[in-house]
Amino acid sequence: MSAHLKAVGLKKSYWKGKNEVPVLRGVDLEIERGELVAVVGASGSGKSTLLHILGLLDSADWGKVYLNDKRIDDASERARDRLRNRAFGFIFQFYHLLPELTALENVQMPALIGNGFLSYMANRAAMKRDAQELLDRVGLARRGSHYPSELSGGEMQRAAIARALFGRPEVLLADEPTGNLDSKSGENVLTLLRDLNRERGLTMILVTHDMQIAQQADRVVRLCEGRVEEWSPALA
């Protein structure tokens, strides 16, 4: 069975003045369809960089990224924009909800970005209904009219998950989604992600520093010295 998402030989460096700082040194990674994979590693090991390259938010200096056996990192800018909007859903540690929009409006943002204002207006009733159904699923049925400032951290993250799911993406990329939450809220968010993975067969890649969270994934890989290796208890 071919991989759903695959990275081949990814290399990425950053520069501090005249000094090159290698982050990824030839990363190879294959993710199967419907798999929940946790990526762990020391701070600064390149976990977020890897996630951003896989989701086309950043570019590698060298290497290739494939989705459904088709190379995507070398696609045109317009095609990459479309993939980011439709194929990938993104969840970040700090939510990135727009403060001037309600939770319901925030969930609909991918549709407005991907379809344009006129198309959005023509289909806004159906999109509003879809957004409300997602808020219901993440436990925010009665919070759609509330602004981010009126939501708790856990509620904001659940709203961000609903936004990431809008449009039914193929792959969900989560960068420390529980890192800014208390333990109870973090546990609830993780349970929600695990349930969504099972219900929808949604491929997920989860970056985390918490090994207790990582061990609940189908598979754990560790970034070490710029390369990926399978995790074992001896490495924890």
Q: Hey, where are the domains in the chain?
A: 1-87+209-236
**CB-CB contact of 172 with 203 (8 Å):** yes
Task: Note the pLDDT of residue 230.
Answer: 67
- Please give the chain's pLDDT, 236 residues, in tens: 579 999 999 999 998 888 998 999 999 999 999 999 999 988 888 999 999 999 999 999 999 999 999 999 999 999 999 999 899 999 998 889 999 999 999 999 888 776 766 776 777 888 899 999 999 999 999 999 999 999 999 999 999 999 999 989 999 999 999 888 888 888 888 899 999 999 989 999 999 988 888 888 999 999 988 888 766 443 44
CATH topology of domain 1-87+209-236: Rossmann fold (3.40.50)
Contacts of 133 by beta carbon, 8 Å cutoff, 6+ apart: none
Q: What is the DSSP string of 111-159?
A: HHHHH-HHHHHHTHHHHHHHHHHHHHHTT-TT-TT--GGGS-HHHHHHH
Task: Note the pLDDT of residue 16.
Answer: 87
- The CB density around residue 195, as the number of other CB atoms within 10 Å, is 12
Task: Note the pLDDT of residue 144.
Answer: 96
**CB-CB contact of 202 with 196 (8 Å):** yes
